[in-house]
Amino acid sequence: MDGIRSVELAAPAGRAGRRGWRAAVVTLLAGTLLLTAACSGGDDSPSWQGGGNGAAASEAPSPEPTLSTVAVTSPAADATGVEAWSDVKFNSEDPENTTVKVTDAKGDEVKGAVDKDENLWRPTESMEWGKKYTVTVTTPEAEGKNNTTTSSFTVMKKPANLVRVTSFLADGQTVGVGMPLIMRFGRAIPEKYRADVERKMVVTATPAQEGVWHWTSPTEVHYRPQTYWKAGSKVFYKVQLKGVKMGDGWYGRSDLTVDMKIGRSMIMTVSNKTKKMTVKQDGKVIKTIPVSLGKPKTPSSSGTMVVIEKKEHTVFDTLDELGPEEGYRTEIDYAQRITWSGQFIHAAPWSEGVQGRSNVSHGCVNVSMAMGKWLFDRTLMGDVITVTGTEEKLKNGNGWTDWNMSWAEYKKGSALH
């Protein structure tokens, strides 16, 4: 063995000498055994040490704890009173390959989308009042790690304060190219909640056309495209406001959808200078009509308006408003309202003699009986009329004046722009 030198021992004389020699040999052999054991180590360790390196080696190693690669951070586990449009937030070591599934008590999946940059799942439909939901978050399997976690929460009970939401238009209607989409609310919506409301009102036009919502008041919001609707377009809008927060303690009552159509293009242009109306259908002039506009004391408004409503026969009564000297009560045929202040396109047989030459009306666009009927039979709610050259400019809000603003100005009325 390396490090051990041979030793020569002389045999002592006599019996006592022999006993001493034998003792020396035994001592030397014992020392050699101990030195050999100390150098061997590893698997050749002495059996009295239990086959390991010391007493501690006899104990089996503890297993490493299983780590989770995903966790739901919001809503908190078993949370109650959760809002119906709440996002689900999660942590993940691999967000790009993480899936999130939210199911109700029956196992039906709630529609939603995962934002992998923000590590959250957003519902695309309202969850039901008072119902319990389970979140399951999963990533690809990783060795020694748990790749799936679940968490549950319960949506708030149906609140007492609900805001009614209505659409001015209904399924199946055909309207003019200037018709705004109009949503009305049963309660004023504070500004800080309007962006969330807009996000839940999605308009789809075929062919596609850029458009935006514009708040005309705290209780009404309109939508128009950048330019007039394309003739023949199909328009579908989905309003998902059930459960959407609309104020402190107030929530949307319901969802709705509207499927409608845009008709042919009809644009009416009235010039005070020429006292004529030019009617274009799908870009082609189909009629030029003599008109009489408002006299200087009661001028017609210059601006772009649309047909709001149509009444084949009605009565104009301004006696209470203007008094017996200026007021009047007159039966009117083929009336088409264009402002809230009382301006109409209508037949006026009493002014036919001056139509095309001078203005004698109280602000309306007067045409003959024949032309009044001709127009009435062809127009749609939402058809456009632009008046130019009068003494008074149209005030925004006096009718559906969505087209009386530039696109840049109109976008400023959106909570999202």
CA distance 204 to 302: 32
What amino acid occupies position 30? A
Query: In the sheet where 88-92 sits, what is the strand order?
Result: 70-74, 88-92, 120-123, 112-115
- What are residue 114's DSSP bridge partners? 121
- Specify the pairing of strand 70-74 against strand 245-247: unpaired
Write out the DSSP string of 293-346.
-B-TTSPPEEEEEE--EEEEEEEEE-HHHHHHHH--EEEEEEEEE--TTS-EEE
- Specify the pairing of strand 148-155 against strand 132-138: antiparallel
- Residue 358 is classified by DSSP as -
Instruction: Decide if 299 contacts 389 (C-beta within 8 A).
Output: no
CA distance 258 to 261: 10
CA distance 367 to 289: 7
- 3-state class (DSSP) for residue 23: helix
User: Looking at 313, 346, 362, 417, which residue is catalytic?
Assistant: 346
- What are residue 156's DSSP bridge partners? none
- Specify the pairing of strand 70-74 against strand 79-82: unpaired
Q: Which residue has the tokens 């009661």?
A: 298
CA angle 224, 229, 232 (to 5 degrees): 140
- Indicate if 346 belongs to the active site: yes
CA distances 205 to 102, 221, 238, 265, 312, Å, are: 30, 18, 12, 16, 32
- Indicate if 39 belongs to the active site: no
> Does 290 sit behind a cis peptide bond, omega within 30 degrees of 0 on the bond before it?
no
The residues carrying an active-site annotation are 346, 364
